[in-house]
Amino acid sequence: MRLGVQLPEVEREVRRLELAAMARAAEECGFDSLWVGDHLLYRAGWRSERGPWDCWTTLAWLAGVTERVEIGPLVACAAFHPPGILARTAAAVDELSGGRLVAALGAGWNQEEFRAFGLPFDHHVSRFEEAFTIIRRLLAGERVSFEGCFHSVTDALLLPPPARRPKLMIGANAPRMLSITLPHVDAWNTWFTHYGNTAEGFVQLNAGISTAAERSGRDPAEIERSACVLVELDGAGERPRDVEAVTAARLAEHLRALADAGADEAILVLDPITERSIRTVADGLEPGSLS
């Protein structure tokens, strides 16, 4: 099983030197990937207004701070940018990282940030469907003309031409979103709240993804399965508790169970998320589980 780490999103304000230290620690410790949230702001349910640094700017910077790990948004909201511009940005980050980007996409859900920044939330999935069509085709190197109800491009192409198509990941569970994306993506990701942060919950959710893949005409084995895992260390309390967290002492056992449940990748959401937490978790895992 591959292991990733989500860098701070809304826990607290984190400046560049601390971000760099965490990214380098994760790479040194053998983690496979680094992820950053794509949000504009949070209000409800938090002690104060919070928000991460701009997702794509941060990913481009992480490309230069690291050398080996995959990097990606968890997940990029397709509604925050015109689809052609988002595809162009993703292609640049993939090039700057030496082909390490995972282009993980979603429709977004936090209506508060849509309202705050004047972004439309109506016909939400239909807007995503059109944007996803444009983004995936441009990233595949196609010359694209598309006229939809919400998005259009005319004879668009990415220049310089991308060296490759990045791995496509979808972060969604709703049936319509899955029907739109599963015919095309390489991987599927789910947040820990959607499966209760338990291996048993992942078994049930994962079975539904396999069924949806078959319904969309895909072999389920072609689609990688990625699960976020909430992990609690000493001094936890930066994140609200929507589910019971996995303790650091139980993490190795939990990851084995998650792998048995069908997960190809676990992305750790550490609480607290610090350089020390990353190193502590890595030290507690079995030899060979991080490479």
pLDDT of residue 46: 59
pLDDT tens per residue, range 90-139: 999 999 999 999 999 999 999 999 999 999 999 999 999 999 999 999 99
Distances (CA, A) of 206 to 36, 180, 202: 23, 17, 6
Question: If you write DSSP's letter for every residue of 60-99 in order, what string do you get?
Answer: HHHHHH-SSSEEEESSEEGGGS-HHHHHHHHHHHHHHTTS
279-286: long-range contacts at Cβ-Cβ below 8 A with a sequence spacing of 24 or more? 279/25, 279/29, 280/233, 280/248, 281/231, 281/233, 281/248, 281/251, 282/29, 282/30, 282/31, 283/29, 284/248, 284/249, 284/251, 284/252, 285/3, 285/251, 285/252, 285/255, 286/252
Over 80: is that where the pLDDT of 287 sits?
Answer: no
CA atoms 84, 103, 9, 59: torsion sign: negative
Whether the predicted pLDDT of 204 surpasses 70: yes
> How large is the average pLDDT for residues 226-240?
88
Q: Which residue has 């610090």 as its token pair?
A: 274
Q: What pLDDT shows up at residue 177?
A: 98
CA separation for the pair 103, 5 (Å, rounded): 16
Give the chain's mean pLDDT.
95
* Whether the bond into 75 is cis, omega within 30 of 0: yes
First and final C-alpha spacing in the chain: 10
Structure tokens at 235: 């001094």
Range of weakest confidence among 2-11, 79-88, 151-160 = 2-11
DSSP state of 246: E
265: tokens are 């990748």
Q: Which of 48-57, 126-135, 173-182, 258-267 has the lowest mean pLDDT?
A: 48-57
The average pLDDT across 42-62 equals 86
Q: How far apart are CA 213 and CA 132, in angstroms?
A: 17
Q: Is the pLDDT score of 238 beyond 60? A: yes
DSSP 143: -
pLDDT tens string 158-170: 999 999 999 999 9
Q: Determine how many CB atoms are found less than 10 A away from the CB of residue 262.
A: 17
pLDDT of residue 200: 98
Predicted local confidence at residue 45, as pLDDT: 62
Output the CA torsion sign for 291, 70, 136, 149: positive
Please state the φ and ψ torsions of residue 138, each to the nearest 5 degrees.
-65, -45
* Nearest alpha carbon to residue 3 among 275, 274, 254: 254
| 24-38, 41-55, 185-199: segment of lowest average pLDDT | 41-55
The arithmetic mean of pLDDT across residues 45-66, rounded, is 90
DSSP assignments along 176-212, one per residue: HHHHHHTTT-SEEEE-GGGTTTSHHHHHHHHHHHHHH
What per-residue confidence (pLDDT) applies to 50?
A: 85
What is the average pLDDT across 19-23?
98
Model confidence at 288, pLDDT cuts 50, 70, 90, reads low
pLDDT exceeds 60 at position 291: no
Cis peptide before 272 (omega within 30 of 0): yes
Rounded average pLDDT over 157-185? 97
Torsion of CA 111, 113, 116, 122, to 10 degrees: -40
10 or 97, which is more confident? 97
pLDDT category of residue 48 using cuts at 50, 70 and 90: confident
* Mean pLDDT value across residues 72-100: 98
